């Protein structure tokens, strides 16, 4: 098909939704390091993990060898409500930039959760239902993950208990209300409902909470209530597996039109979107079949890839979860209060960390005001209002397209547009009002946190 026949939106057919998720680990020579028991520092066994997570998800978490996991029909049926998602050709942005580059973006925001998080939420809810559980617990910060999980639980008739960081609960009442519309109970964390919550409130009566504390409460409720398990929206191997549906569809759409990508760009917080988007491309690269530049984009204010250390660390600030080997800024690291652009996790998926350490990926960090400038330019040309997280990828894609303008190269850039910014207007407002700054942690601050990493040989 000739180049000028490529539509603005490439939609696959319903029967082209992938039938299996792809597990990058199967093609990695150096497998990601195992999770460690925080008490014994021994690799976590399935039996230990299955008190916290659903059994089939534990199996997915630990499986470094199976390349493809069949997507159950029930999950594929749900996917049909919002998938395949469109691969968009950014004709207008290209024109605006005056670049010879060809820019594509995979848009995951066309569902009520507003992001790609639903791809894994529906899978995790399905396995919980299949195991006969009553419900699941989780934490949420900004609320994308909590919303996605609420939708998935409503669909399968599961109880959904969300612990929402108190400051977000109060500042983002609309997110909370969306979750309630889907029948979830949303509790501001720390709460008096859990032992850990009561302990924290006793010690810090006025605290507005943290993600680490919310995780601890959600895990406590899951492990002390019959018929409940805990679920998580990023970082884990199982989540990257589910999110591979993004990359598989992207590749199918490109292949359909005979398009070869030169580079794949995604934003990276815990790695769920990036790991999903790049999966099949990375697979080809790992198997030596094709080459691509694969670029992770992170905020300069929370630069785990570009300034962190590759080491074992706690996944949560409460230090109740297993240790993971990853690029980390230390589990005490918290981005500066002015940081409004999401992607604030201190660590990074173990899979992506290993791939980065082995030289299969690049990483760049971008400043927050540059990110919002790119977001606004994108909104005005392409119409879609992007989430701040997604806008990190937009910024990097624009930078690469402008390099092509200088060199005259007609490269094909594919980036992930993970979601929409409807619930992020407070951040946009700060940007419009000139109240947004670009605080970047000093070397001393980062070194101080990293000095506290747990000692694992």
Q: Is 195 exposed, middle or buried (0-12, 13-18, 19+ CB in 10 A)?
A: exposed
Point out which span in 108-116, 199-207, 236-244, 388-396 binds a copy of itself (CB under 8 A): 108-116
Decide: 237 and 61 in contact? Cβ < 8 Å.
yes
The answer to whether 159 contacts a copy of itself (rule: CB under 8 A) is no
Our CB check for a copy of itself shows the closer of 82 and 310 to be 82
Whose Cβ is closer to a copy of itself: residue 235's or residue 246's?
246
CB of 175 to a copy of itself, least distance (A): 8
Question: Which range in 47-55, 180-188, 260-268, 326-334 contacts a copy of itself by CB under 8 A?
Answer: 180-188
Q: Looking at 108, 249, 313, 382, which residue binds a copy of itself (CB under 8 A)?
A: 382
Q: Which of 178, 267, 315, 363 binds a copy of itself (CB under 8 A)?
A: 178
- C-alpha closest to that of 148 among 129, 126, 120, 169: 120
Q: Which is nearer to a copy of itself, 113 or 250 (CB)?
A: 113
Q: Which residue has the tokens 């995780």?
A: 215
What is the distance of C-alpha 122 from the center of its chain? Answer: 15
Q: Is 112 in the site for a copy of itself (CB under 8 A)?
A: yes
Instruction: Build a one-symbol-per-residue string for 432-451: x at contacts with a copy of itself by CB under 8 A, - elsewhere.
Output: x-------------------
CA atoms of 149 and 123, how far apart (whole Å): 10
Is residue 7 near a copy of itself by the rule CB under 8 A? yes
Beta bridge pairs of residue 264: 294, 414
CB-nearer residue toward a copy of itself: 76 or 448: 76
Q: Which of 173, 198, 204, 407 binds a copy of itself (CB under 8 A)?
A: 173
Paired tokens of 440: 């970047």
CB of 385 to a copy of itself, least distance (A): 4
Among 53, 69, 155, 228, binds a copy of itself (CB under 8 A): 155
* By CB under 8 A, residue 177 contacts a copy of itself: yes
- Rounded to the nearest angstrom, the gap between the alpha carbon of residue 109 and the centroid of all alpha carbons in its chain is 13
Alpha helices in 308-424 (DSSP H): 350-357, 368-382, 388-407
The reply to whether 134 sits near a copy of itself by the rule CB under 8 A is no
Interaxial angle between packed helices 144-156 and 118-130, expressed in degrees from 0 to 180 and rounded to the nearest 10: 40
Angle at 339 between CA 202 and CA 377, to 5 degrees: 150
Q: What track of x and - describes contact with a copy of itself for positions 389 through 428 (by CB under 8 A)?
A: -------------------------------x-xx-xx-x
The answer to whether 292 contacts a copy of itself (rule: CB under 8 A) is no
11 is an interface residue for a copy of itself by CB under 8 A: yes
Secondary structure of residue 358 in the 3-state scheme? coil
Among 162, 150, 159, 151, residue whose Cα is nearest residue 132: 159
CA-nearest of 273, 265, 271 to 245 is 273
Q: Is 95 in the site for a copy of itself (CB under 8 A)?
A: no
Q: Residues 379, 412, 448, 454: which binds a copy of itself (CB under 8 A)?
A: 379
Task: With CB under 8 A as the rule, give the number of residues binding a copy of itself.
Answer: 43
* Residue choice 44, 75, 123, 151 for contact with a copy of itself (CB under 8 A): 151
Among 41, 51, 110, 403, binds a copy of itself (CB under 8 A): 110
Q: Does 19 bind a copy of itself (CB under 8 A)?
A: no
Q: Which is nearer to a copy of itself, 174 or 258 (CB)?
A: 174
Angle between helices 350-357 and 237-256 (to 10 degrees): 70
Return the number of the residue (15 or 442) whose C-beta is nearest a copy of itself: 15
Residues 91, 3: contact at Cβ < 8 Å? no
**Contact by Cβ (8 Å): 348, 326:** yes
Phi, psi of 169 (to 5 degrees): -55, -40
Category of 456 on φ-ψ map: left (φ > 0), alpha (ψ -120 to 50) or beta: beta
CA distances from 273 to 4, 22, 191, 244, 264 (A): 29, 14, 30, 9, 12
Among 71, 149, 282, 384, binds a copy of itself (CB under 8 A): 384
| Least Å from the CB of residue 136 to a copy of itself | 16
| Closest distance to a copy of itself from the beta carbon of 299 (Å) | 20
Q: What Cα–Cα distance (Å) separates residue 440 from each residue in 242, 339, 391, 435?
A: 33, 10, 18, 16
Residues at the interface with a copy of itself (CB under 8 A): 7-9, 11, 13-14, 80-82, 88, 92, 110-112, 114, 151, 154-155, 173-174, 177-178, 180-183, 375-376, 379-385, 420, 422-423, 425-426, 428-429, 432
């Amino acid at each position: 098909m000739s180049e000028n026949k490529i539509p603005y939106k490439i939609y696959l057919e319903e029967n082209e939704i992938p039938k299996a998720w792809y597990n990058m680990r199967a093609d990695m020579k150096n497998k990601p390091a195992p999770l460690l028991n925080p008490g014994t520092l021994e690799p976590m066994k399935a039996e230990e993990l299955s008190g916290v997570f659903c059994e089939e998800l534990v199996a997915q978490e630990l499986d470094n060898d199976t390349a493809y996991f069949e997507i159950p029909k029930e999950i594929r049926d749900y996917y049909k409500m919002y998938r395949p998602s469109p691969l968009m050709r950014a004709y207008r942005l290209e024109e605006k930039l005056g670049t010879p580059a060809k820019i594509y973006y995979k848009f995951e925001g066309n569902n009520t959760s507003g992001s790609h998080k639903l791809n894994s939420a529906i899978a995790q809810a399905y396995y919980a239902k299949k195991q006969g559980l009553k419900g699941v617990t989780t934490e949420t910060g900004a609320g994308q993950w909590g919303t996605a999980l609420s939708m998935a639980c409503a669909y399968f008739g599961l109880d959904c208990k969300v612990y929402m960081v108190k400051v977000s609960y109060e500042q983002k009442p609309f997110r909370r209300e969306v979750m309630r519309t889907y029948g979830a109970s949303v509790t501001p964390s720390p709460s008096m409902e859990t032992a850990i919550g009561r302990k924290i409130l006793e010690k810090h009566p006025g605290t507005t909470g943290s993600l680490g504390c919310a995780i601890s409460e959600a895990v406590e409720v899951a492990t002390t209530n019959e018929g409940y398990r805990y679920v998580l929206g990023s970082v884990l191997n199982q989540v990257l597996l589910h999110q591979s549906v993004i990359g598989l569809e992207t590749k199918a759409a490109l292949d359909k039109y005979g398009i070869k990508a030169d580079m794949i760009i995604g934003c990276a917080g815990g790695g769920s979107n990036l790991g999903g988007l790049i999966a099949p491309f990375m697979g080809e690269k790992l198997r030596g079949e094709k080459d691509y530049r694969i670029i992770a984009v992170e905020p300069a204010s929370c630069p785990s890839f570009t300034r962190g250390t590759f080491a074992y660390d706690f996944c949560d600030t409460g230090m109740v979860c297993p240790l993971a080997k990853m690029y980390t800024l230390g589990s005490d690291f918290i981005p500066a209060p002015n940081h409004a652009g999401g992607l604030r996790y201190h660590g990074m998926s173990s899979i992506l960390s290993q791939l980065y350490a082995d030289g299969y990926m690049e990483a760049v960090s971008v400043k927050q005001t540059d990110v919002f400038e790119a977001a606004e330019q994108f909104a005005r040309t392409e119409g879609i209002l992007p989430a701040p997280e997604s806008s990190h990828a937009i910024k990097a894609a624009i930078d690469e397209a402008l390099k092509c303008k200088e060199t005259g190269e007609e490269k094909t850039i594919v980036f992930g547009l993970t979601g929409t910014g409807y619930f992020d207007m407070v951040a946009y407002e700060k940007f419009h009002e000139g109240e947004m700054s670009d605080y970047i942690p000093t070397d001393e601050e980062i070194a101080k946190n990293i000095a506290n990493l747990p000692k694992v040989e």
